Chain A
Amino acid sequence: MQWTINGQVREAEVDFRTSLLDLLREQFQLSGTKKGCNQGACGACTVLVDGERINACLALAVQYQGREITTVEGLAEHGKLHPVQAAFVEHDGFQCGYCTPGQLCSAVGMIGELERDLPSAVTADLAAGQIEWQRDELRERMSGNLCRCGAYNGIADAIAAVLAEELGEEIAR
């Protein structure tokens, strides 16, 4: 069986019961992706598949052959931190660091959703073509990633800083 992970083709023979999360952690030793609940409740296992975020604990490994999988280990390029990673360090968007890989992948996927103008539960006008990038939009969209240390303010600040950089102006509160 074959998977494309962080741009590399990887092969392994696995149990049909193996989750994508366990494939990454146990077969390929890509332990950056974390297991917090193994039932889709905490978001620690969030990875990107073809650019979209999913809970790797709820995905069977065999389903994801041939798809482009990106984990936290694949976010930095040429030894340079991804802007979201650098912003998390600067804004103290974590304490223990265990939920962090999931938060980071989730943030990268979420920014893509904003860029594609996908609405969320707090979007005032679902029919409006354009999503206003404001703090509640990103907070709502990041609410599937639990952080028990309580770094939520730092996480929101970090993502807002990255969005502000992209937008060229501050993100509305």
Chain B
Amino acid sequence: MSALDTGRSGDTQPAGVALAGDYWRPEGRPDPLGEKGRSGIGAPLSRVDGADKVTGGARFAGEFRFDGMLYAALVYSTIANGRIFGIDTRDAESLDGVALVMTHQNAPRLNTPPVFLRAPNGAAGDDHPIMQTDRVHWNGQPVALVLAETQEQADAAAESIRVDYAAEPAMTDFAIAKTQARQPDNLLGGPAEIRVGDADSALAAAAYRVDATYTTPRHNHNAIEPHALTLAWVNEPEGEGETLRIHDASQCVDLAVASLAEVFGIDISRIHITSPFVGGGFGGKTLWQHQILAAAAAKLAGRPVRLALSREGVYRVVGGRACTEQRVALGADDRGRLQALIHSGVAAMTRHNNLPEPFFQATKCLYAADHIRLSIDVADMHMLANTFMRAPGESVGTFALESALDELADQLGMDPLELRARNEPERDPTSGLAFSSRHLLEAARAGAERFGWSERSATPGGRHDGEWQIGMGCATATYPYMRMPGAVATITLTPDGATVGIAAHEMGMGTATVQTQVAAARLGLPVEKIAFRYGDSQLAGSVLAGGSQQTAAIGGAVIAAQRALVTELLSLVDEHSPLSGLSPDEIECRDAGLGAIGDGSRFESYRQILASAGRSELCVEASAAESQELGNWSMHSFGTIFCEAGVNAVTGEVRIRRLLGSFDCGRILNAKTAASQFRGGMIMGLGMALMEETLFDARSGRVMNPSLADYHVPVQMDVPEIEVMWTDIPDPHTPMGAHGVGEIGITGVGAAVANAVYNACGKRVRDLPITLDKLL
């Protein structure tokens, strides 16, 4: 049985699918695929790549081979700021199998890479020169690279390299750095400060006030696949020069090509990256120094290279989430109506990247406060550039905001869900825009009922089970809808089916499976007749696997390509065709062909149309429409997280007994893979709540726990059976009526756990993670 045959739902509606029109306009028509009961949409189809993944057949980037390939190992700096004044590579060079030792003294000249969010094609984490000078910018910066015939030889040689440094003063203590914080010139392209009314005065005048500081530590993505790549400079025939061929683990193949082209001063047509399987990304698999160093070393050695970072190497070279210190101040009247909402604070950053951990993003849209002030400052540090990690901002920001809401509810003696309901806004409280689709209260009510929220003790410490104190907590989850520009889809139609190609990525989200379902439904073909191609920079357009936007970005491009395909097909039919004289908007795709909407007798199959026109295939390419919807509405996903925690009265240990997420994320496209995305995010949220912390030595700037033995992530026994549910109400202004579901799961969980812990034992922890020492 193939994976395609499992889990197919009988939820079908034979009607065809008309072309989607202007869903992005206020008066536009919704995408017909968002309608309930559409054939295949929402069905719990098992993963199309499932068989490959359970048999070992799926090949990851570090598993491809080139003839004559060398293995790489890196040496990392041990100071945070200063310069290298001596580097002794003689022992390394004398060892068996060593082909090259590369340092700043012999590395080829490289241009500085364009930085993500700063340059249009930027994929790089920071703008430091890469092994070009003797300068050291962070503790852990690569200072030498060894190539050898085997990994063992490369590793041994790397260990024999001696580096002497002239250290200079470094800012490695966040407690000091935050006293010199500055306001960044932007936050993800928007303002770093937002004011509605006068929040400070309103707070001072409020009858009920919460004003507290919440802190969150550094986090690392810790995808189980460490970053790895296999590459070669391939000589093209007939003196056509060289092409850089890379098998990479990437969530941005096109941005990576554009950035590498700048670094090496070559045309983008000279670089080809494929990334069919990615062993987890979570924001970390973009462009970092290791890819550039591997390509430079391969050039210098004249041989292909495999570079697989060790787990420690990932911590040294690939940035993680920055630490934050946030103030949330709430002022309310005696009925719980928010009069003032202040969310401000500081996040660690460097002067060489552009991502202030955007903790107030969620606060922009959640509650109808009369007066709002949001602001962020950054504390510049000598550290590896921080970067995006699952729900940057919202994950740690909702911990602060939703903990504060719980504190206010406690003060008011009000049910925390009721407090949230009383502050449900009519319109976006900071932008003033209408919401495209907001059904948070429905999701909260349904979740509360399923969870048994009414059994929560109103006073902390009210429930016991032996030595365990039991408590319940809830928190709101939210993440924005996005659809970034640049998506282009191709559809190649043959008598046997269709191939959809788009430069998107599959890192476990289920993209390949879901988009196969969507394309099948849209084209009126069975899923077995759809091939979905992705993860290849030579495919048209550019789609970033980030910001939970892939589903919509791909959807928008396929909508455009479907219109192009239907237009082309109609141009092929002659006057004897039953379709003759029809315009694309009078057509629907059904039963492996085109038919007139509302007229079952006018139909011609794709096979017939192609045969009559003497064509073996038809290939179209189209760009997604501009994302005008984002300017017309405030667009977000919502949800409520419910948690039941046990706190051991003797040891302070916290165990999560139950966890439920009730979400409002538009139309759910695949019940099985979406549930896994929600659960996966919630589990990362549990890790954030209870155990995850990248320990940064304030004296040396060195990460002290760069391993999975010392950086704890949730294991099987830490995770209860997690219930997930969803409203399944389509957003009329998005492709398929859908929102991305990859990041919302982690949001709200930190606060739901903290609130449950408070309800269990009466201790309020405002400093993540909630380890047992904080509860004793």
A residues with a Cβ closer than 8 A to B are 15, 17-18, 22, 25-26, 29-42, 44, 71-73, 75-76, 81, 85-86, 88-90, 92, 94-101, 104, 136, 139-140, 142-156, 173
| 16 chain-A/chain-B pairs, Cβ below 8 angstroms | A15-B152, A32-B57, A38-B311, A39-B707, A40-B709, A73-B55, A81-B55, A89-B47, A89-B51, A90-B46, A95-B508, A150-B679, A151-B676, A152-B679, A152-B714, A153-B679
Q: Is B675 on the interface with A (CB-CB < 8 A)?
A: yes
Cα separation A26 to B63 with both chains bound (whole Å) = 8
Cα separation A156 to B673 with both chains bound (whole Å) = 16
Residues B679 and A100 in contact, CB atoms below 8 Å apart: no
Residues A148 and B222 in contact, CB atoms below 8 Å apart: yes
- Within B41-62, the residues touching A (CB, 8 Å) are 46-47, 49-60, 62
* Beta-carbon nearest neighbor of B63 in chain A: A31
Residues A29 and B715 in contact, CB atoms below 8 Å apart: no
* Beta-carbon nearest neighbor of B221 in chain A: A148
- A32 interface neighbour in B55, B151, B718, Cβ under 8 Å: B55
CB distance from A72 to the nearest CB of B (A): 4
Q: Which 7 A-B pairs have the closest CB atoms?
A: A32-B56, A98-B279, A95-B508, A96-B508, A97-B53, A150-B680, A150-B683
Residues A89 and B54 in contact, CB atoms below 8 Å apart: yes
Please judge, given known A-B contacts A18-B152, A90-B7, A96-B507, whether A37 and B709 are in contact too, CB under 8 Å: yes
Q: Which residues of A contact B715 (CB under 8 A)?
A: 143-144, 146, 152
CB distance from A94 to the nearest CB of B (A): 6
Q: Which residues of A contact B431 (CB under 8 A)?
A: none
Cα separation A154 to B40 with both chains bound (whole Å) = 22
Q: Is B6 on the interface with A (CB-CB < 8 A)?
A: yes
* Beta-carbon nearest neighbor of A40 in chain B: B709
Cα separation A44 to B223 with both chains bound (whole Å) = 12
* Beta-carbon nearest neighbor of A17 in chain B: B152
Q: What count of chain B residues pass the 8 Å CB interface test?
A: 68
Interface centre among B50, B54, B156 (most CB of A within 10 A): B54
Q: Which residues of A contact B675 (CB under 8 A)?
A: 92
CB distance from B252 to the nearest CB of A (A): 16
Cα separation A140 to B3 with both chains bound (whole Å) = 29
CB distance from A99 to the nearest CB of B (A): 5
- A81 interface neighbour in B51, B308, B684, Cβ under 8 Å: B51
Please judge, given known A-B contacts A73-B55, A98-B225, A148-B224, whether A142 and B716 are in contact too, CB under 8 Å: yes
Residues A36 and B225 in contact, CB atoms below 8 Å apart: yes
* Beta-carbon nearest neighbor of B711 in chain A: A41
Residues B713 and A85 in contact, CB atoms below 8 Å apart: no
Q: Which residues of B contact A142 (CB under 8 A)?
A: 716
Apart from A32-B56, A95-B680, A146-B715, list 10 A-B contacts with CB within 8 A.
A34-B224, A36-B708, A40-B709, A89-B50, A95-B677, A96-B224, A97-B58, A140-B716, A143-B717, A148-B223
Residues A92 and B223 in contact, CB atoms below 8 Å apart: no
* Beta-carbon nearest neighbor of A95 in chain B: B508
Residues A96 and B277 in contact, CB atoms below 8 Å apart: yes
Q: Is B113 on the interface with A (CB-CB < 8 A)?
A: no
Q: Which residues of B contact A29 (CB under 8 A)?
A: 65
* Beta-carbon nearest neighbor of B55 in chain A: A76
Cα separation A143 to B56 with both chains bound (whole Å) = 21
Residues B54 and A88 in contact, CB atoms below 8 Å apart: yes
Cα separation A24 to B507 with both chains bound (whole Å) = 24
Please judge, given known A-B contacts A41-B709, A73-B56, whether A35 and B680 are in contact too, CB under 8 Å: no
Q: Is B682 on the interface with A (CB-CB < 8 A)?
A: yes
Residues A97 and B49 in contact, CB atoms below 8 Å apart: yes
Residues A81 and B310 in contact, CB atoms below 8 Å apart: no
Residues A99 and B676 in contact, CB atoms below 8 Å apart: no
- Within B37-93, the residues touching A (CB, 8 Å) are 46-47, 49-60, 62-63, 65
Cα separation A81 to B46 with both chains bound (whole Å) = 15
Cα separation A47 to B605 with both chains bound (whole Å) = 50
- A150 interface neighbour in B62, B507, B682, B708, Cβ under 8 Å: B682
